[in-house]
Amino acid sequence: MLLLPWLAFFIYSASAVLVNVTIDDTFGDPTTGNKIQYSPPSSWNLGGDCNGCSAYPSAAQAYLHTWQDGTFNKDSGSNPNPNQVLLATVPFTGTAVYVYCILALSQASPTGRSDMTFIVDNQVVGTFVNEPQPGQSGFLYNVLVYANNSLADSRHILTIQNGHTDGEKSLILLDYIIYS
């Protein structure tokens, strides 16, 4: 009889520690109000609401029906910020972080090539590179492109970089970030 309240207490404590917060690409962090900062701003577009975008994934399959679309391209004249990497930055407090993207599977129209670098507190901690294969098309949703569950329990700043200076063209379709 005495065990049950204790069990309930421990289950409650464990789940309280592991609460996940989802930061939407557009609406931000519902608990802190922080929004993801995008730079350079003119390289990022609200997906699905964008004239210049070539990627048209299904909004119904995106978290809160939104994503951010950005293309790195080093060629001058191809975009307003040639050869400038794209950055998405957000602070969070916790011990784990997970980044979810939509991936385009086509080689062209849209160029589905992915080239992401993940930076936590100014330190490069991971990369995600995907080369689309010939004959493929369509999109993958809820793709976990970076996970880290061994962060110190403190405030952190996550930066997602799309592309590399002088590197190949690459697309990012950022959907959401989870931390806990």
Ligand X SMILES: *[C@@H]1O[C@H](CO)[C@@H](O)[C@H](O)[C@H]1NC(C)=O
Interacting residues with ligand X (CB under 6 A): 18, 20, 98, 120, 123, 125-126, 148, 150-151, 178, 180
Tokens of 172: 């990012």
- What is the spatial distance between Cα 46 and Cα 121, in angstroms, rounded to a whole number? 26
Which uninterrupted H or E stretch holds 32? Answer: none
CB of 45 to ligand X, least distance (A): 26
Nearer residue to ligand X within complex by CB, 55 or 99: 99
CB of 73 to ligand X, least distance (A): 28
CB of 68 to ligand X, least distance (A): 19
Nearer residue to ligand X within complex by CB, 9 or 56: 9
Tokens of 96: 């784990």
Nearer residue to ligand X within complex by CB, 51 or 122: 122
- What is the spatial distance between Cα 83 and Cα 136, in angstroms, rounded to a whole number? 27
CB of 158 to ligand X, least distance (A): 10
Nearer residue to ligand X within complex by CB, 48 or 126: 126
Q: Is 12 helix (H, G, I), strand (E, B) or coil?
A: helix
Instruction: Answer positive or negative: Cα dihedral of 103, 109, 115, 120.
Output: negative
87 near 161, Cβ under 8 Å? yes
